Amino acid sequence: MKSTVFALLIGAAGAWAQALPATVNTQIYPPVAVEAGAIARLPAGGDLQGALDRARPGEIIELPPGSTFTGNFVLPEKSGTRYTVLRTAPSAGLPDASGRIGPEHAGKLAKIQSPNGSPALRTAPGAHHWRLMLLEFGPNAGGAGDIIALGDASAAQSAGAGVPHDLMIDRCYIHGHPQLGQKRGIALNSGLTTVTGSYIADIKANGVDAQAIAGWSGAGPFQIENNYLEASGENFLLGGATPGAQGLVPSDVVFRRNHVARPAAWRGEKWTVKNLFELKNARRVLVEGNLFETNWVGGQAGYAIVFTPRGERGDAPWATVEDVTFRYNIVRNVSAAFNLLGRDDTGPSGTIRRMRVSDNLVYGVDREVWGGNGVFMQIGEGPADLVVEHNTVIQTGNVLTVYGGTRDSPTPVERFVFRNNIVQHNANGIIGQGLGVGNDSINAYFPGGIFVRNAFGGGRQSRYPADNLFPEMDKLAQQFVNYGAADYRLRTGSELKRAASDGADLGVNFVALVRTLGTHAREWMTFSTASPSF
């Protein structure tokens, strides 16, 4: 099934910003129904690899609920475009196609278990049109390696006919060992792939990065939707290692309505914690309707969301992060929010370009609680074409921290827009490396940048461009329905309503945020969404 790319019509002041970012998928492909093909019912203890090898395209292989199949199984290449399905036989109480699996369903699922450090399930070169559905995958021996490997990152599976593609992981429970952890849940080094309705947990390691989902040698498209993703290193990561094909950039990624977190209890344990979401090599990415929460200072400085073009030891100089939309998300209870590094500081790379961060609710960015610096956004080494607008941000550190170059010759952030946001100014607001607060840093690092209609709670107007607002902090708190209870909707009669440059309210559009969160809104929001206005 071919993917379809839809252009987003994005309004922005200034002709150069009107097409930011360029093109982003809104949906890779519609849900694939399980076809009424032949059913092969494998008994407990049966020959699973033999069943995979014998299956005809369109066939359904059913495994008994509660059974365990131990081995290192391989999805072989089949002909045609009908999906071959491997699933637990239907039983009452399992979620439907719109739902999400969880640990509570484990007793009703068939389990596939690796006996060693190799994947429980991996793809053969060219494997395609496989759907893994309603299955449990347990930890590898000693928590080593990948539980599921879609592609192997080699040249044989990274280009041409050898690339695995049209793969679906649908409502699968994938988990590490509670004490020993697990290096990685899914290695995403394939072509067209979706992961939906799944629960990936206890992916954690000490001294090395662990990821719920990580890919570096798959071209995509990828759709990651409605999953719970839990890991210690990076819950989701694209890039950072050398692809198996020259010039490969994972592209056309939709990351939607996922809960990306880790237990706060891990803070007192041995696991190496870094960030929640990271792009090191990616193009055309849409991140919307997700909840990102619980990140602290550990193996890194505590930034929850990290964008940094980077290969491995400089041997992927084409690595880039570009055409990214990050909108209608919640980021909360973290040391710091965003870290953008314009280009690799250890070797050659591309540059962050064409990125929009808009209509996000960011709060609980608290250095006293989580360590770190409490910064909303750190920007370094000259990314270009960034738009940051309509965000509601409650943070204890700087609004923007900027660095790159030298005090006398700073590396500019070209064509930067910062507008219609609600932020807390705190001590330093917008500050650049070795420079003063506000205009001194803005003029040096953001030449020609647009800074309009932002509410800087507690800031001083004399330090900033005209056409911004500077309410005292107690007055800013009064603009919200209930600041103390983290209800950051603007109250009726707020001075910030309809005060944006586009005639809308300052900060996040809560109606659109709730709509984008979908069925998760009631669970993730701190206020009732039962009102007809939502």
Q: Is 107 exposed, middle or buried (0-12, 13-18, 19+ CB in 10 A)?
A: exposed
Q: Please state, in angstroms and rounded to a whole number, the distance separating the CA atoms of residues 318 and 350.
A: 6
User: Does the pLDDT at position 35 exceed 80?
Assistant: no
Average pLDDT, the chain: 92
Cβ–Cβ < 8 Å for 336, 397: yes
pLDDT band at residue 360, thresholds of 50, 70 and 90?
very high
pTM metric for this prediction: 0.94
Radius of gyration of the chain (CA): 23
Give me 432's structure tokens.
């650049």
pLDDT mean over 106-135: 98
Compute the Cα dihedral for 406, 448, 329, 307 and give only its sign: negative
Among residues 305, 306, 296, which one has the least CA distance to residue 329? 305
Task: Give the alpha-carbon dihedral of 380, 383, 384, 386, to 10 degrees.
Answer: -70
Looking at residue 24, its pLDDT comes to 54
Cβ–Cβ < 8 Å for 489, 527: yes
**Type of residue at 131:** R
Kindly report, residue by residue over 508-525, the tens digit of the pLDDT: 999 999 999 999 999 999
Task: Give CA separation, 112 vs 121, 167, 412, in Å.
Answer: 8, 17, 52
pLDDT band at residue 82, thresholds of 50, 70 and 90?
very high
Q: What's the full length of the chain, in residues?
A: 534
Looking at residue 118, its pLDDT comes to 98
Q: Provide the residue ranges of all domains of the chain, joining segments of one domain with +.
A: 36-221+233-243, 274-534
pLDDT band at residue 347, thresholds of 50, 70 and 90?
confident
| Residue keyed to tokens 């059974």 | 67
pLDDT band at residue 3, thresholds of 50, 70 and 90?
very low
pLDDT mean over 363-376: 97
Cβ–Cβ < 8 Å for 280, 254: no
Q: Please state, in angstroms and rounded to a whole number, the distance separating the CA atoms of residues 219 and 163.
A: 9
**What angle is formed at CA 377 by the lines to CA 360 and CA 497, rounded to 5 degrees?**
40
**β-bridge partners, 132:** 86, 169
**What angle is formed at CA 371 by the lines to CA 517 and CA 463, rounded to 5 degrees?**
80
pLDDT band at residue 32, thresholds of 50, 70 and 90?
low
Among residues 286, 391, 299, which one has the least CA distance to residue 338? 391
Kindly report, residue by residue over 381-436, the tens digit of the pLDDT: 999 999 999 999 999 999 999 999 998 899 999 999 999 999 999 999 999 999 99
* Residue 343 CA neighbour count, 13 Å, CB half: 17
Q: Please state, in angstroms and rounded to a whole number, the distance separating the CA atoms of residues 162 and 148.
A: 18
